[in-house]
Amino acid sequence: MSQMATRIVRELHDEPHLEGRRLTVQFIKVQVEDRGLEPRTVADRHDLDVADVYRALTYYHDHPDEMRTVERERREAIAAHEELTTDPDAVRK
92: pLDDT strictly greater than 60? no
Question: pTM of the prediction?
Answer: 0.80
Q: How many CB atoms lie within 10 A of CB 51?
A: 15
Q: Count how many domains the chain has.
A: 1
Looking at residue 14, its pLDDT comes to 80
Residue numbers of the domain that contains 23: 8-92
CA distance 88 to 93: 10
Asked if residue 3 is part of any domain, the answer here is: no
Is residue 61 domain-resident? Answer: yes
For residue 2, tell me if it sits in a domain: no
Looking at the predicted structure, is the pLDDT value of residue 85 above 50?
A: yes
Q: Give the tens place of pLDDT for each residue, 47-78.
A: 999 999 999 999 999 999 999 999 999 899 99
Whether residue 81 is contained in a domain is answered as yes
Q: Does any domain span residue 45?
A: yes
Assess whether pLDDT exceeds 60 at residue 40. yes
Contacts of 13 (CB under 8 A, 6+ apart): 22, 24
